[in-house]
Amino acid sequence: MSASLVWFRNDLRLADNPALHAACATGGKVALLYILDERAGAASRWWLHHSLAALGADIVARGGTLLLRRGDPARIIPALAAELGVSAVHAARAHEPFWRETDRALDAALKPLNIGLHRHLSTALFAPERITTKAGGLFGVYTPFSKACFAAGVPEMLLPAPKVIHGLEVASDRLEDWALLPAKPDWAGGMRAEWTPGEAGALARLETFLAGPVQLYAEARNLPAQPGTAKLSPHVHFGEISPRLVWHRAAASGQGQGVQTFLKELLWREFSLHLLWQHPEIRRSPIRPEFVRFPWADNAAALRAWQRGRTGIPIVDAGMRELWQTGWMHNRVRMICASFLVKHLLIPWQAGEAWFWDTLVDADEAANGASWQWVAGCGADAAPYFRIFNPVLQGLKFDPEGAYVRRFVPELAKLPAACIHTPWETDPAILAHAGVKLGGNYPRPVIDLATGRERALAAYQTLKDA
């Protein structure tokens, strides 16, 4: 009976893992391997450490061992497969250009050894070529794409976790030696308080969401002060829970409009993967080529103020501080913060994407790139550039009592709700009574909002004139 090798990537789970299931179904011994993705940002590396620790413990409980290596997969895997007498390598199918190129190199390296590389649909609901237009092409607009997904249907077959794993043991790196956790100063306290990485944590998060918040999801998902979102994105990104399992558990919960809205949000993730498949440079190059000529500003001080939540615009600062503290930001506030950066400050969207890549625990190549391009107006199915969020109006609408701002911008906590989103317009006596000193413990706005809006529209006009 031949042995197999399972190469884990963004599928760090045992349940509904097609690559693992296929390998274990042979009845032979299985080598379970993870190779470090060196491109991960700091927050993602923190999450990865704990996710691998959880996966390793789950594997040991079933009789196997998780092997850890770092380096080039196209060199490591063929050598390991030959050493262990492996006849097949199983992995999740990748959408990311880096991994697609790696897979091609790995396949070429395995063929002379007569070892097959088998890639399985594991990190998405549909294979990239599965959802097409009537003409057979790929979609560039979300709404018809989502309708096609609903019409196609998500297969309901969910694969059980193996009860026993007949593991193959070989020399492995020690997880601690990878130094994925922050050295001093330890900036991960807020993330430890917020998250439980791993498959068990993912299932618990899903069950909590479906037990209550999903009922009000259609409205509450826009209110950052309320626990109205699933907060499953990092778990799904690392593959601690399969998108297929999330889809079917949600669909079966019978929660009406909230579930339907949630399923459509899952399809936004799917659409981002669809776009990445078509546009491999989505993190770096605008999909709409005319935006290469956009007259962006070079303002390092403003970028730094935005990164640290010191722009003087309370809802923006609250979002950026939530990100810094917890490794996550509410989706509505992500749009507000991104719009402020690329439109009011005219800072290139790639700078924002890079900061999110380093600080988000759910930093995802497809979703991060596609979402920033959507806000910047240069992507597929993007919001038009002249749609400029007014952060004050957004704060008043979605955080009317200022509870979200009070949580993450505590120096403004004693301000009345009527003025917490506009401290620069507030009576000095009210500011003094609340302990707020503009330009002191809280900054003045880095830009006048009306001025920033007009400057953004003028910059956009240069593209139209060209």
Helix (H, G, I), strand (E, B) or coil at 336: helix
Note the Cα 111 to chain centre separation in Å. 34
Query: Percent of the chain beyond pLDDT 90?
Result: 94
Is residue 466 pLDDT above 70, yes or no?
no
- Evaluate whether 229 touches 330 at the Cβ level (below 8 Å): yes
Q: What is the pLDDT of residue 82?
A: 94
- Catalytic residue numbers, as ranges: 265, 268, 296, 331, 349, 372
- Evaluate whether 156 touches 49 at the Cβ level (below 8 Å): no
How is 45-91 classified by DSSP, letter by letter? HHHHHHHHHHHHHHHHHTT--EEEE-S-HHHHHHHHHHHHTEEEEEE
Compute the average pLDDT of residues 439-444: 98
Is residue 255 pLDDT above 70, yes or no?
no
- Evaluate whether 33 touches 90 at the Cβ level (below 8 Å): no
| DSSP bridge pairs for 6 | 32, 90
Q: What is the pLDDT of residue 185?
A: 86
- Evaluate whether 325 touches 408 at the Cβ level (below 8 Å): yes
pLDDT tens across 229-244, in order? Answer: 999 999 999 999 999 9
Compute the average pLDDT of residues 371-379: 94
Answer CATH for 124-155+198-278 from 1.10.10.10, 3.40.50.2000, 1.25.40.80, 1.10.3720.10 = 1.25.40.80
Q: What is the pLDDT of residue 152?
A: 96
pLDDT tens across 45-78, in order? Answer: 999 999 999 999 999 999 999 999 999 999 999 9
Compute the average pLDDT of residues 294-298: 95
Query: Percent of the chain beyond pLDDT 70?
Result: 99
Answer CATH for 3-122 from 3.40.50.300, 3.90.1150.10, 2.40.30.20, 3.40.50.620 = 3.40.50.620
Q: Which of 360-364, 379-383, 453-457 has the lowest mean pLDDT?
A: 379-383
Is residue 256 pLDDT above 90, yes or no?
no
Distance CA 1, CA 86 (A): 10
Is residue 440 pLDDT above 90, yes or no?
yes
> Domain 289-465's class?
mainly alpha
Q: What is the pLDDT of residue 299?
A: 95
Is residue 42 pLDDT above 70, yes or no?
yes
The residue type of 214 is V
Q: What is the pLDDT of residue 327?
A: 98
Q: How many helices and strands (H and E) does the chain possess?
A: 20, 5
Buried b (16+ CB within 10 A) or exposed e, 115-131: bebebbbbbbbbebeeb
pTM: 0.96
Query: Hey, where are the domains in the chain?
Result: 3-122, 124-155+198-278, 289-465
| DSSP bridge pairs for 428 | none
pLDDT confidence bin for 1, thresholds 50/70/90: low
Q: What is the pLDDT of residue 386?
A: 81
pLDDT tens across 408-435, in order? Answer: 999 999 999 999 999 999 999 999 999 9
Averaged pLDDT score across all residues of the chain? 96
Parallel, antiparallel, or unpaired: how do β-strands 86-92 and 30-35 relate? unpaired
Parallel, antiparallel, or unpaired: how do β-strands 66-69 and 86-92 relate? unpaired
Is residue 384 pLDDT above 90, yes or no?
no
Compute the average pLDDT of residues 376-404: 92
Is residue 204 pLDDT above 90, yes or no?
yes
Is residue 285 pLDDT above 70, yes or no?
yes
pLDDT confidence bin for 465, thresholds 50/70/90: confident
